[in-house]
Structure formats: C-alpha cells, structure tokens
Amino acid sequence: MLNDAQRAIVKSTVPLLETGGETLTQHFYRIMLGEFPEVRPLFNQAHQASGDQPRALANSVLMYAKHIDRLEALGNLPAQIVHKHVSLQVKPEHYPIVGACLLRAIREVLGAEIATDAVIDAWGAAYQQLADLLIGAEEQTYAAIEAAPGGWRGERAFRVTRKQAESSVITSFYLSPVDGGPVIAHQPGQYIGLRLVLDGQEQRRNYSLSSVANGSELRISVKREPGGRVSEHLHDQVAVGDVLQLFPPAGNFVLRDGDKPLVLISGGVGITPTLAMLQAALETERAVHFIHCARDRASHAFRDTVDGLAARHPQLQRFYCYDQADAADQVDAVGLLDQQRLADWLPASRDLDAYFLGPKPFMAQVKRQLKALGVPEAQTHFEFFGPAAALN
C-alpha cells in the first residue's frame, strides 16, 4: 500500500516529469514493445511514430503524480482510460508488464543517483495503487457489458452486410452478429474495438459507432488514413460477407440527457459520433445546432443524411464550413471556423450543452472559442480519437 512518505517522493518527481516525462515514456515504449510482443496489439504504431502515445502517457503520468494524494482531481481521466482499456480488451495480466517496464525506464532515464531505490519503491507502490483501481473498474465494466441484453465479453464475430461510401475518404460498414443474437444498446458517442490479423500480426483499433443503437446491427464509418494499415485494409480488402471480430462498445464521451439547447461541432471524421448523438437527440424535442467542418464537398460525409434530418425536424439547424468550396456547394462559410462564425451559429443563450470532436488543433480552437463566448466549461464535452492528452 502506498504510504505518506512514498506519496511525498512521487510528488517530488513532478518537476522531472514536467521537463523530461516524454523522454521517459518514449524509452518505456521502446522497452515494452521491443521485449513484450504480447502487448503490441494494444498500441497503435502510427500513434507511436507520431509521438502522440508517448506524449499522452507522459501527461497522464504527470497528472497522476501531481494528484497522488487527491485522485478525485484527475476528473474524467481515469474513466477515459478504463473505457479505452475495455475497448481494446486490456487484461489484469498486462499490468505487471507495464509496471516493470515503467520502473525500468524511470531508473534508466533518470539514473540511479536520482531514481534511487526509495524512488523506485515509491513509484512501484504508486503504480500498483493505480493498477488495482483500473483493474477493478475494468472488471466491473466488462461484467456489466456482458450481463446487458445483447452484450458479450471478448471477441464476437460480425458479418459485413453492407459497405457504403459516405465521402471520398470515409466508408461505412454495416455489421450484424454471425450468431444471430441481439446486439447491446450502445450509447450515442461510443466506439467499438476491432481485432484483425494482417500478415501474421495482430492489430486492434477503435472506431466510433456512427448510428444509434437498433438492437440488431452496428455501423462504423472509417476514414482512409494515408499509410494506415488497418483503414486501408478495410477500405480495399474487406467486402460484404466478410467476418470481423469485434469487442463490445465502450467510451464515456456520450450524449447526456438534458433539455438545454444542444450544439454538436465536428471536424472531418469527427462527424461519426456526433451523427449518432444527433439522431438520438432528434428523438426528443431538444433544439439542436449541428456544425460540421470539412475540407471540401467531396470529403464531407453524411451531408445528405443531415440535410434530410433538418428537413424533417424543425428543431434542427445545421451549418457547414469548408476549407475550399465552389458556388454550387451551398456551404454556409468558407475558411476556418473562427469565433465570429461560431458565435453566429450558436443559440442565443449560452446556457447550452456542447459536444465537439475532430483533429486536435481543431478541438483546441473550439474549446477556446466556446469559453470566450461564455459557454460554461462544465457544459462542454470532447473526446480524442487517439491517445488522451491535454487539450490546451
């Protein structure tokens, strides 16, 4: 058990983590992914190459060290981690591997003079405290999903029943369970885990569910990422009739009940979870402002779908902003979504609920703009497609 002296030691390492945390986590990943092939499928190599994953882990480790004596200050971070782990099927046996590699990285990066035995023991106890919390929360989540109608644990085979191009870069896959059983009612905004074996190597990915639950099938809408091994395989190789292995829906970026005006803001493929949220919200009388930003008309997915919903639901207002547009595109704005445009498209009252998703710079910009426009921070919600990190 972590004692007070160990907590003080962990907190004393905060300045080192603030300046060198990313170097430490990069070394950690080199050790773990190089020596423990069994955990490689849990990590997206593209996020490793971009530095997103080491950067996100460094931020998480830093936040944990800062708040080691007041874990409630971590806010939503533990829940995000739990849901991400559940979506990829992280198991208790993975935690000792991570812990051993983390402690080794601390010693090797900081050196024995700084990372003394006392420091290593303190971080070992701190890691075990966190691991125990996460393992317990993850098991509760696994069990709840399995016990729910249409739920399951681990892999479940789904057949591709339809493949639909939604834009020049996004394709939808309609998936029905091979066993013919019901499908758990996911919450709008959640994602599934997908397991593939490509050229003998296991790959796991998350994809948002782009439609509301119907009890019988799931829909994911996948952007083709240049050089993306899994997305290109799905676009080019997977056909109707093929079978994919799915992990159950997870994620805590979900539409919450409420009667305040709802604002959904998306950029690019960020439209996939906000579309499901839109469909769910329109089942109520709630006013909805749907704002989507795309590169151009060809890359704008689901425009006809949203236009059709707007024609049938007077409480829905939708606005489109393209980087580039022709006169025939019928777009509301061309260029960046600046603060004045956003102000014009928001409801008159700033007492609203806002959900936004897209590329990280886009989300950082929207977050700043909403704050400047007077939207309460507690009523703004966002999610990361990749590893969770700070959004400044």
- Please check whether residues 166 and 131 belong to one and the same domain: no
Bridging pattern class, strands 156-165 and 243-250: antiparallel
Q: Is it the case that residue 128 has pLDDT exceeding 60?
A: yes
- Please check whether residues 135 and 158 belong to one and the same domain: no
Rounded Cα distance, 38 and 110, in Å: 27
Rounded Cα distance, 191 and 182, in Å: 18
Per-residue pLDDT tens over the stretch 5-54? 999 999 999 998 888 888 999 999 999 999 999 999 988 777 676 677 88
Counting residues of the chain whose pLDDT is more than 90, the rounded percentage is: 83
- Please check whether residues 26 and 141 belong to one and the same domain: yes
Confidence of residue 158 (pLDDT cuts 50, 70, 90): very high
Tokens 């639901």: give the residue.
313
**Residue 78: inside a domain, yes or no?**
yes
Counting residues of the chain whose pLDDT is more than 70, the rounded percentage is: 96
Q: Could you confirm whether 138 is annotated as catalytic?
A: yes
Which of 110, 145, 180 is where one domain is finished?
Answer: 145
- Please check whether residues 222 and 296 belong to one and the same domain: no
**Residue 127: inside a domain, yes or no?**
yes
Q: Which residues contact 24 (CB under 8 A, 6 or more apart)?
A: 17, 58, 61, 105, 106, 109, 110
**Residue 255: inside a domain, yes or no?**
no
Which CATH number covers residue 177? 2.40.30.10
- Please check whether residues 96 and 181 belong to one and the same domain: no
Rounded Cα distance, 283 and 265, in Å: 19
Give the number of other CB atoms < 10 A from CB of residue 260: 15
Q: Is it the case that residue 363 has pLDDT exceeding 90?
A: yes
Which of 96, 127, 145 is where one domain is finished?
Answer: 145
**Residue 241: inside a domain, yes or no?**
yes
Q: What does the pLDDT average to over 287-298?
A: 98
- Please check whether residues 35 and 128 belong to one and the same domain: yes
- Please check whether residues 64 and 184 belong to one and the same domain: no
- Kindly provide the b/e burial profile for residues 138-173, where b requires at least 16 CB atoms within 10 angstroms of the residue's own CB: beebbeebeeeebbbeeebebebeebeebbebbbbb
Q: What does the pLDDT average to over 67-74?
A: 87
Options 138, 191, 320, 383, the catalytic residue: 138
**Residue 219: inside a domain, yes or no?**
yes
**Residue 235: inside a domain, yes or no?**
yes
DSSP β-bridge partners for residue 333: 321
Q: How far is CA 111 from CA 25, 64, 104, 107, 228, in A?
A: 15, 21, 10, 5, 37
Options 64, 95, 191, 322, the catalytic residue: 95
Q: Could you confirm whether 283 is annotated as catalytic?
A: no
- Please check whether residues 217 and 270 belong to one and the same domain: no
Which CATH number covers residue 361? 3.40.50.80
**Residue 291: inside a domain, yes or no?**
yes
- Please check whether residues 78 and 114 belong to one and the same domain: yes
Q: What is the mean pLDDT of the chain?
A: 93
Q: How far is CA 134 from CA 78, 86, 91, 150, 152, in A?
A: 8, 10, 10, 25, 20
- Kindly provide the b/e burial profile for residues 303-322, where b requires at least 16 CB atoms within 10 angstroms of the residue's own CB: bebbeebbeeeeebbbbbbb
The total number of structural domains in the chain stands at 3
- Please check whether residues 310 and 193 belong to one and the same domain: no
Which of 145, 174, 192 is where one domain is finished?
Answer: 145
Q: Is it the case that residue 392 has pLDDT exceeding 60?
A: no
Q: What is the pLDDT of residue 348?
A: 94
Structure tokens given for 255: 């539409």
Alpha helices in 36-116 (DSSP H): 45-50, 52-66, 77-88, 95-110
Q: Which domain holds residue 216?
A: 154-248
Q: What phi, psi does 199 have (nearest 5°)?
A: 55, 40
- From 50-64, 229-243, 290-304, 357-371, the region with the lowest mean pLDDT: 50-64
Q: What phi, psi does 38 have (nearest 5°)?
A: -65, -20
Per-residue pLDDT tens over the stretch 246-255? 999 999 999 9
Tokens 């936040």: give the residue.
63
Q: Is it the case that residue 171 has pLDDT exceeding 60?
A: yes
Q: Is it the case that residue 386 has pLDDT exceeding 70?
A: no
Task: Using only the alpha carbons of the chain, give its radius of gyration.
Answer: 22
Which CATH number covers residue 72? 1.10.490.10
Q: Is it the case that residue 316 has pLDDT exceeding 80?
A: yes
**Residue 93: inside a domain, yes or no?**
yes
Per-residue pLDDT tens over the stretch 321-353? 999 999 899 999 999 999 999 999 999 999 999
Q: What is the pLDDT of residue 1?
A: 82
- Please check whether residues 369 and 272 belong to one and the same domain: yes
Rounded Cα distance, 300 and 150, in Å: 33
- Please check whether residues 15 and 123 belong to one and the same domain: yes
